[in-house]
């Protein structure tokens, strides 16, 4: 089970107006159980690009990373975890600075 311990969100600007919708970059600091395959002693970050357009909000892309090293990890979230992250982003994207 994933727990979000801390997060930041920032709206990404498209200076050329090429992309439709608005994109938000989230960095989620995750707490996972030691017996979880995602666990790392160096901490776990989830970088999420969240897209909001006329059809609603959705995760465009995400990457799991070690917090200390910023090394990308080759794991995928399961459907339940991804749905939880999408719901979190939907509820927090408007808080960007």
**Domain spans in the chain, listed from the N-terminal domain onward:** 1-91
Whether 22 contacts 52, CB under 8 Å: yes
- Encoded tokens for 46: 């989830």
40-95 pLDDT tens trace: 888 899 999 999 999 999 999 999 999 999 899 998 999 999 999 999 999 999 88
Q: What is the pTM of this model?
A: 0.89
């Amino acid at each position: 089970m994933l727990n979000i311990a801390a997060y930041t969100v920032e709206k990404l600007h498209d200076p050329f107006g090429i992309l439709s919708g608005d994109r938000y970059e989230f960095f989620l600091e995750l707490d996972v159980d030691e017996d979880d395959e995602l666990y790392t002693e160096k901490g776990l970050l989830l970088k999420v690009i969240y897209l909001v357009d006329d059809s609603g909000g959705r995760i465009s892309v995400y990457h799991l990373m070690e917090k200390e090293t910023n090394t990308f990890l080759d794991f995928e979230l399961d459907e339940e975890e991804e749905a939880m992250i999408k719901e979190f982003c939907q509820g927090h994207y408007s808080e960007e600075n």
